[in-house]
Copies of this chain bind each other. A is one copy, B any other.
Amino acid sequence: MSLEDAAQFIRPGDNVGMSGFTGAGYPKEVPGALVRRVKEAAARGDRFAVSVWTGASTAPELDGALAAVDAIDLRMPYQSDPVSRAKINAGLLDYLDMHLSHVAQMVWEGAFGHLDVAVVEVAGVTPQGELIPSSSVGNNKTWIDMADRVILEVNSWQPAKLEGMHDIYYGTALPPHRRPIQILEVSDRIGVAYLHCPLDKIVAVVETNSPDRNTAFKDVDDVSQRIAENLLDFLAYEVQGGRLPPSLLPLQSGVGNIANAVLRGLDGGPFRPLTAYTEVIQDGMLALLKSGTMSTISATAFSLSEDGAADLHANIDQYHDRIVLRPQEISNHPEVIRRLGCLAMNGAIEADIYGNINSTHVMGSSIMNGIGGSGDFARNAYVAMFLTPSTAKDGAISSIVPMVSHVDHTEHDVHVVITEQGVADLRGLAPRRRAQRIIDNCAHPNYRAMLQDYFDRASATAPGKHTPHLIDEALSWHARYLRDGTMRSS
């Protein structure tokens, strides 16, 4: 079937479930064909828009291209595309930012209405008609199960030897029929290696040969390096104190510069054999497998640089049995995360003196990316750590503020805050003691006196002294930044 014919199965107003998680395994061609249909409709004076549900982020040729032509009614549950972000923040695109473990169950539940069509990339089809999942699993099982019509993209760029790396769990159900998720170790397999799809649902099959998004690997900068060193010191201290086993507990790590610095710091270090129960496998995790520092990884997707992908493809035999790719409702399942006792390491945009974390919003109003799986992991982690440079925008923004302008992780969910300045272990501390520790250990010296001044005045004059705030002034740092371009007081 031609690509254009395939795209005909997507109709205006449809809810469309697309594959894709952190730039891996998203459909490469159908979104472009859809964009052409949208433009044709616009030329006729018709509006053509759909709701786009995915695993997580995709790539410019999906999110960016559809957002650019205003073809998205509602986007969920995560995005990180610059065009899409600009449209959301301009008020032109509705975005539903969700815990990634919640998506599948709420779709089964019917909370978002009916799923009309699924567009799913697979790595291949077996002679028996089973679908070999691609470089991400995400919500693909749910999209295929729930959609009326399924469009497959079979991407021959994906290595055939991905076959057997996935563990698709078909034991989920709606309550009251749910059973325990019987994962006791990172490497446990509880499902099957293939996605099932009734043949009569498949309305189109498109062959592609296109690489996943290149998640470029930036060299570790000095600040990220110092954050990583602080984190590693903290872990060593916990092991020494007997609060963590010598091989730690399963790691969960976000992506990006700081995560790469952490993973590099772990490589060849004293903690081994490591495991990871996480969302995403980035370059640094592959390196840990390769060196033998890490034994096994469970995730729902890869997110690799060009070099990382080349390495995976060239050496897939040595990775094959040490990686399990699961649906995101399992990779991020609270039950499993809490049972395994993950060490959760996630980034933050800002933290406040009482330990609340903002992971998603800039100055209260604009979205950056989304909460992703950070809430699934932090809430249920053995130790929930949040990592951020102490300043942003060349020092014009302090990442430690009196009150965060948006809360994604409440004071109840945050164990440890780490910046390049140091570590604040907040466990067991009442709010005012947390404040002093965060100011002393994590704030940038340029902002420390300002924070201390706020905290002292609030402690002296606030109407309540549990979490003393000057309510007129709590968000004044953000207001000042919006007005003057800096949080520094003049």
Q: Name which residue of chain B comes closest to A184, CB basis.
A: B179
CB pair A412 B466 closer than 8 Å: no
Residues of B with C-beta under 8 A to A467: 361, 364-365, 367, 406
Query: Cα distance A341–B249 when bound, in Å?
Result: 28
CB distance from A451 to the nearest CB of B (A): 17
Query: Cα distance A96–B406 when bound, in Å?
Result: 22
Q: Is A479 an interface residue (CB 8 A)?
A: yes
CB distance from A18 to the nearest CB of B (A): 17
Residues of B with C-beta under 8 A to A465: 88-91, 365-366
Residues of B with C-beta under 8 A to A181: 180
CB distance from A380 to the nearest CB of B (A): 6
CB pair A412 B406 closer than 8 Å: no
B338, B363, B408, B469: the one contacting A365 at CB < 8 Å is B469
Residues of B with C-beta under 8 A to A371: 410, 412
Query: Cα distance A466–B430 when bound, in Å?
Result: 33
Q: Is A208 an interface residue (CB 8 A)?
A: no
Q: Name which residue of chain B comes closest to A406, CB basis.
A: B467
Residues of B with C-beta under 8 A to A98: 412
B333, B339, B361: the one contacting A178 at CB < 8 Å is B339
Q: Name which residue of chain B comes closest to A375, CB basis.
A: B412
Task: Work out how many copies of this chain go into the complex.
Answer: 2
| Binary B-proximity of A225-241 (CB < 8 A = 1, otherwise 0) | 00000000000000001
Which interface residue of A95, A111, A333 has the most chain B CB atoms within 10 A? A111
CB pair B475 A463 closer than 8 Å: no
CB pair B334 A380 closer than 8 Å: yes
CB pair B96 A175 closer than 8 Å: no
Q: Is A272 an interface residue (CB 8 A)?
A: no
Q: Name which residue of chain B comes closest to A356, CB basis.
A: B407
Q: Is A74 an interface residue (CB 8 A)?
A: yes
CB pair A472 B466 closer than 8 Å: no
Q: Name which residue of chain B comes closest to A74, CB basis.
A: B430
| Binary B-proximity of A361-401 (CB < 8 A = 1, otherwise 0) | 11111110001000100011010000000000000000000
| Binary B-proximity of A456-474 (CB < 8 A = 1, otherwise 0) | 0011001111111101101
Q: Is A270 an interface residue (CB 8 A)?
A: no
Query: Cα distance A433–B51 when bound, in Å?
Result: 15
- Known contacts A334-B380, A366-B464; decide if A339 and B175 are in contact (CB<8 Å): yes
Which interface residue of A334, A466, A478 has the most chain B CB atoms within 10 A? A466
Q: Is A58 an interface residue (CB 8 A)?
A: no
CB pair A482 B478 closer than 8 Å: no
CB distance from A490 to the nearest CB of B (A): 17
CB distance from A438 to the nearest CB of B (A): 16
CB distance from A311 to the nearest CB of B (A): 29
| Binary B-proximity of A177-207 (CB < 8 A = 1, otherwise 0) | 0111110110000000000000000000000
Which interface residue of A339, A363, A375, A427 has the most chain B CB atoms within 10 A? A339
CB pair B478 A106 closer than 8 Å: no
Q: Name which residue of chain B comes closest to A361, CB basis.
A: B467
Residues of B with C-beta under 8 A to A245: 176
Residues of B with C-beta under 8 A to A44: none
B339, B430, B475: the one contacting A474 at CB < 8 Å is B475
Query: Cα distance A407–B478 when bound, in Å?
Result: 18
Residues of B with C-beta under 8 A to A185: 176
Residues of B with C-beta under 8 A to A471: 363-365, 405, 475, 478-479, 482
CB distance from A454 to the nearest CB of B (A): 13
CB pair A112 B430 closer than 8 Å: no
Q: Is A39 an interface residue (CB 8 A)?
A: no
Query: Cα distance A438–B339 when bound, in Å?
Result: 37
Which interface residue of A88, A363, A365 has the most chain B CB atoms within 10 A? A365
16 contacts between A and B (CB under 8 A): A91-B468, A96-B429, A99-B412, A109-B243, A113-B428, A178-B184, A179-B339, A180-B181, A356-B407, A361-B466, A361-B467, A363-B464, A364-B403, A367-B467, A471-B482, A474-B475
Extra 17 A-B pairs, beta carbons < 8 Å, given A99-B413, A333-B338, A334-B335: A91-B432, A91-B459, A94-B430, A94-B432, A94-B433, A96-B429, A96-B430, A110-B243, A111-B243, A176-B245, A176-B340, A334-B338, A364-B474, A365-B458, A365-B468, A367-B466, A371-B410
The 8 closest A-B pairs by CB, nearest first: A366-B464, A175-B341, A91-B465, A94-B430, A365-B464, A407-B407, A180-B180, A335-B335
